[in-house]
Amino acid sequence: MEGRGEPASTAGMNVVFTAAALDVVRKVQAARDGLPFVFVFGEGCCEGTAPHLFANHHVGPTQQEVGRADALPVFADAHIRQLYAGRTVVIDVEEDPLADGFSAEIELGYRFVMRAGASA
């Protein structure tokens, strides 16, 4: 799987994006031109550790930046940073026209997914 985006290990984990995931990020940005977006994954109430793309999102005190999707920051909760410390996490995307959730790609018929990669 070819990962693109800027990997970062500032919080003990490495986050990369597939080309398909970055393409969907750009589609979402085009559909909602001008809004600031961030990726967040953590201990969500409904979808667990699934990555979410949010517009106008306030980042909480337990979240730290762990990577970038092009210019978009990616934040993870302390629990996720500890769980994936020393590992590469790959953010990918799947077509899912029946998806339900709060992440911005849902309305375009996609769902971002997190895949564990190799140990660092």
The predicted-structure confidence for 94-105, as pLDDT tens digits, reads as follows 988 787 777 878
pTM score, two decimals?
A: 0.79
Residue ranges and CATH numbers for the domains of the chain are: 3-119 (2.60.300)
Largest CA distance in the chain: 37
Return d(Cα 104, Cα 74) in angstroms, integer: 14
Q: What is the pLDDT of residue 120?
A: 54
Q: Encode pLDDT of 11-29 as tens digits.
A: 488 899 999 999 999 998 8
Instruction: Please report the sign of the dihedral spanned by the C-alpha atoms of residue 104, residue 106, residue 109, residue 115.
Output: positive
